[in-house]
Amino acid sequence: MDQRLYAKFLTETEAGLKVRAKATIRDFVDSFADLAEMASWTKEYLSTSRPGELIRHELYEGVIFPVLLSGYERKDAWSICWLANTWRNLAKAEHLRRRISFQHQTELFKEAYLLEPHSEVARERLLSDLVEGFNFMGHEWPIGILYDPSKPWPNAYWEAQQEIRLARELDTAGLHAREIDDFEEKINADFARRKG
């Protein structure tokens, strides 16, 4: 890999030279010799990235995703967690999601947690993702709960109950207890209203 090309890409991007930057990032991606070199660079790059940050698509598809996919296939928790952390990139690339069986971000975090249940990072990311999902599902209450429309609502309700139990297990410090309780109250009230 030619690290100078990446430095050049950053300089061109900062200067607003989009056409040059695009050519340079492609040259940088092409400069990697093998997957091992890609893995070394990817680990360094992701160590300074924020989860959820959008990554330049040439870089993601050409270097980072192949590394994470290799780890996914080996059931490596770090790689699976980073696939979830880079969901914004995956959401824009159906051909990449197909390679991971169209697993959703939450499913990836759950898999990483199951592989390494003592990993603080896996626990925190999964908990954060679950609470974010609860907030989204309940944000239109009392009009209704935003369950997955592809599932019958009773199934979605029971899945939400399982996720509430999981979130409580993960939230050992009780930092999200109020949000979790609030969401549970909403779905129980919604359940009672639908059954009534």
For residue range 45-88, what is the model confidence (pLDDT) as tens digits? Answer: 999 999 999 999 999 999 999 999 999 999 999 999 999 999 99
| Contact predicate 163/183, CB 8 Å | no
| Contact predicate 93/72, CB 8 Å | no
pLDDT, residue 106, reads: 94
Q: pTM for this structure?
A: 0.89
For the chain, how many residues are written? 196
Which residues, 6 or more positions from 125, have their beta carbon under 8 angstroms from its beta carbon?
Answer: 51, 81, 84, 85, 109, 112
Hunting for tokens 């959820």 — which residue is that? 52
pLDDT, residue 115, reads: 96
- For 79, how many CA atoms within 13 A lie in the half-sphere containing its CB? 17
| Contact predicate 77/117, CB 8 Å | no
Burial of 172 by CB count in 10 Å (0-12 exposed, 13-18 middle, 19+ buried)? exposed
Distance (Å, whole) CA 5 – CA 171: 43
Average pLDDT value for the chain: 95
pLDDT, residue 120, reads: 92
| Contact predicate 130/166, CB 8 Å | yes
pLDDT, residue 195, reads: 84
How many other β-carbons are positioned within 10 Å of the β-carbon of residue 170? 21
The percentage of the chain sitting over the pLDDT mark of 70, rounded to a whole number, equals 100
With a cut of 70, which residues of the chain have pLDDT below it? none
| Contact predicate 110/126, CB 8 Å | yes
∠ CA(58), CA(130), CA(108), 5° rounding?
Answer: 45
pLDDT, residue 196, reads: 73
